[in-house]
Structure 1
Amino acid sequence: MDKWKALIIALGMLQLINCQEMKKNDTPMPTYEVQISHPWNNYMITPVEDKIITLEGVPAGLPYGSSSGTWGDSGKGFTEQSGTPVGADIVYFSRYEDTFYHLKADFPKDKVLDMVQRAYANNESDSSEEPLKEFISIKDEPDYYEKYNKFGMSYYKFGTLVFGFAPKGMVVVWFRYGYVSVQLGEFQAEVVKDDTKYADKLFSKISQTREEIKQRMFIPDASPEEWKNYQKRYSWAPYISSENKAFRLFRTQAEYYNGEKEIMLRPWGIKPPLKERAIPKEISFFWETGKGQSFEGRAFFNWKKVNEQFEKSGKDFKLDLKIAPDNNSMEILINNQPVLVDSTRIYQSDVKFKESY
């Protein structure tokens, strides 16, 4: 009898351990908004049939209507979708090309599973003194929200799936975490040769005819070359410094031509690591040199000019943004050579940080 009791207890303990292990590995299903973006308003596309393929088999899709906004940001929200996105099956009409395309894409599964478990730091934490990281794993830190976001949002989990549609069937997908946007990949849609079925379906629902849209919107020389070029990456990092001994850098945020966005906070943002980054479109940063001496700087970049310099700068390099000791100007250099920028600006700032003077 004692043996049976021991066996029952052992089986009970094993079941408890298995339940605990399952609970540990049972991560919530991702929920997110979906956006459909384009480079400019004259590059509009309209989905006809759409399906976001999810790992769990949960139905998910695109928002109703046509693309909007700018590259990587439609500017519109949409009812939340659920399920881990591992692919897309989309038929859409490119209004300016008078062409139907079919995107049948499998997303890189391992990359998706990694990215949906991330939460990226957007702001300092008011509820934790632990040093911030660029991102954390919510699987490893399931209590992250209570720990870091108790008194205000610091770490943002995956919250927006963004599609970008460029000419000739070029499609790019980003995962967004608050402000931070990370590219998942680039995909290629194919021309639908026999489009009668899709044309009938689309034009039966809208007031314009196909010929009217073509007369008004057709761009005969539409090319994806510009957005293909924006995909170029180099191993580099922005380094912001000053000879003013009281200089304290707090926050850097960068917007890149490929649609990605990055935030760098203390401590890692003081000397951010080298990694593959696209050409910057705009870099903004906040610093102080004493009480009442708080500033925001901005630098705006021209893709063609900067890309020419990046190509000649070697494998690993720093983009140095050097602020004058009096905080009135800055110079931007690569390997001690001036970088041609569109403009730079410096403003007084009233933004406060934990280590502010």
Structure 2
Amino acid sequence: MDKWKAFIIALGMLQLMNCQDMKKKDDMPMPTYDVQISHPWNNYLITPIEDKIITLEGVPAGLPYGSSSGTWGDSGKGFTEQSGTPVGADIVYFSRYEDTFYHLKADFPKDKVIELVERAYANNESDSSDEPLKEFISIKEEPDYYEKYNKAGMTYYKFGTLVFGFAPKGMVAVWLKFGYVSLQLGEFQAEVVKEDKKYADKLFSKISQTREEIKKNMFIPDVSSKEWKNYQKRYFWVPHITSENKEFRLFKTQLEYYNGEREIMLRPWIIKPPVKERAVPKEITFFWETGKGQAYEGRAFFNWESVNEVLEKAGKDFKLNIKVAPDNSNMEIMINDQKVPADSIRIYQSDLKFKESY
């Protein structure tokens, strides 16, 4: 009888532990994050008038005070943290260079948002864990990830920044950032506010400039969102970086795309990264070694029109091959048998150290 009691107690404790473990996984805290408002460049300035970020939990969240800044997909500014899973936006803003008020009413893809906010993306090697890195992990499945991987320095970054990008003619893009890594949530269309007196009165009562003065100084005729619409084009491809030098070891690749996204590859998946839908690359930076004291950083900068022309003809599931010279002095960039034009190619000595460094 005592054995049965002990068995039942042990079984109950096991069930309790399982329930607590499940509860630990399910009780995800609300995400907290900075919000940025970006634009293509400073001539394309917009100013929010009314703003609301719709959250899954129903908690209030909004845009930072002031106007847009920075570059496409990165305002370069951090502000007071907001809380709640962002699933939509309701924003009225004034496009100064168009002399036009726009209203953005957008529903974000909820399932995609929930999936992304439960991830943490690898940005660097871990000094506190020898477990092989993945492109991303589930913080729901690994609630102790911070202590495990980030104890001696940041490796995995959870969702930390929500970025809005405002292009001409009401085009708005939204990104989620995980440290350096940036993923586009979607592209949305704001509508012109035809009866704008209410918003004009609200804006111009708070600033020293009049609407006429802003139009005189900032108006740009015949603007178009075509350039940023083009940047949305994607192709199924993968970077493939090699060398005929038998001692070549590739450690890290950073890719910046024209659509505002950013990607990091590390060992082990950098050796054979997956083919997936990617935009046209703007800049590729990578780090490698060919022996002790032979550590390098390579950079390639691209023009969208030139590279897109090659990508359009490349078919599907292709490699962008970057072949480093055996003496590390130069690199060749090819897709299939066609050379990919680069605006600039640079190679520097590097002092970065990796776990598998010589």
Deviations 1:1-51 (A, max 9, x none): xxxxxxxxx999988876664343110100000000000100000000000
**CA distance in 2 between partners of 1:340 and 1:144 (Å):** 41
1:88 partner letter: A
Deviations 1:177-213 (A, max 9, x none): 0000000000010000100000000000000000000
Contact 2:52 2:91 in 1 (8 A): yes
Q: Per-residue deviation at 1:161?
A: 0.2
Aligned partner of 1:302 in structure 2 is 303
| Residues 69-218 of structure 1 aligned to structure 2 (within 5 Å) | 69-218=70-219
Deviations 1:53-109 (A, max 9, x none): 001111100000000000000000000000000000000000000000000001000
Give aligned-pair identity as a percent.
80
State the SS of the aligned residue for 1:223.
coil
Aligned partner of 1:26 in structure 2 is 27
Contact 2:46 2:95 in 1 (8 A): yes
**Change over 3 Å in CA distance of 1:58–1:245 after alignment to 2:** same
**CA distance in 2 between partners of 1:16 and 1:136 (Å):** 23
2:329 partner letter: N
State the SS of the aligned residue for 1:201.
helix
Aligned partner of 2:280 in structure 1 is 279
2:172 partner letter: V
2:198 partner letter: K
**CA distance in 2 between partners of 1:199 and 1:149 (Å):** 48
Q: Give the unaligned 5+ runs of structure 1.
A: 1-9
Q: Per-residue deviation at 1:271?
A: 1.9
State the SS of the aligned residue for 1:112.
helix
Aligned partner of 1:62 in structure 2 is 63
Q: Per-residue deviation at 1:316?
A: 1.1
State the SS of the aligned residue for 2:245.
coil
Superposition misfits of 4+ residues, deviation over 4 angstroms: 10-20
Aligned partner of 1:4 in structure 2 is none
**Change over 3 Å in CA distance of 1:236–1:147 after alignment to 2:** same
Q: How many residues align?
A: 350
- TM norm structure 1: 0.95
**CA distance in 2 between partners of 1:108 and 1:157 (Å):** 19
Name which of structure 1's ranges 267-276 and 46-55 shifts more when overlaid on structure 2. Answer: 267-276
State the SS of the aligned residue for 1:22.
helix
State the SS of the aligned residue for 2:61.
coil
**Change over 3 Å in CA distance of 1:344–1:138 after alignment to 2:** same
**CA distance in 2 between partners of 1:117 and 1:12 (Å):** 29
**Change over 3 Å in CA distance of 1:267–1:11 after alignment to 2:** closer
Superposed CA RMSD in Å reads 1.8
Q: Give the unaligned 5+ runs of structure 2.
A: 1-10
State the SS of the aligned residue for 1:347.
strand
Contact 2:25 2:141 in 1 (8 A): no
- TM norm structure 2: 0.95
Aligned partner of 1:253 in structure 2 is 254
**CA distance in 2 between partners of 1:322 and 1:15 (Å):** 56
Deviations 1:278-332 (A, max 9, x none): 0000000000000000000000001000000000000110000000000001100
State the SS of the aligned residue for 2:121.
strand
**Change over 3 Å in CA distance of 1:327–1:209 after alignment to 2:** same
**CA distance in 1 between partners of 2:236 and 2:290 (Å):** 30
Deviations 1:208-243 (A, max 9, x none): 000000001111111000000000000000010000
1:249 partner letter: L
Aligned partner of 2:36 in structure 1 is 35
